[in-house]
Homo-oligomer: A and B are copies of this chain.
Amino acid sequence: MAFVCSATWTAKPGEEETVRAALAELSPASREEPGNLYYQAYQSPEEPTVFRIFEVYQDKAAFKAHVGSEHFAQFGVGQAIPALANNEHETYETLDV
């Protein structure tokens, strides 16, 4: 079983492009992490301020490595998170991978 993080980021009004740009950097960098199995940002066209991310890591340690990475510090903590009105995530386990 692998470790799943399902995040929901809600941008402050007017900060949508700041969050989108951060995700454009975070997505390829996160996929390069040795412990990452999947990283996909997605959105509903009806909710332009809400950014969702589905992430799968080999295990919890790999997720912690992601959170502690340079690119997360720069583009997550440094760029996206200050532009968020709300920041939630839930963790799960995959059933078969």
Which positions in A face B, CB cutoff 8 Å?
4, 6, 20, 23-24, 27, 38, 40-45, 51-52, 54, 56, 90-97
Judged by DSSP, the binding face of A is: strand
Q: How many copies altogether? A: 2
Contact across chains for B92 and A44 when beta carbons are under 8 A apart:
yes
Q: Can you name 29 A-B pairs with beta carbons within 8 Å?
A: A4-B40, A4-B42, A6-B54, A20-B95, A23-B95, A23-B96, A24-B95, A24-B96, A27-B95, A27-B96, A38-B38, A38-B40, A40-B56, A40-B94, A40-B97, A41-B95, A41-B96, A42-B92, A42-B94, A42-B95, A43-B92, A43-B93, A43-B95, A44-B90, A44-B92, A44-B93, A45-B93, A51-B95, A52-B92
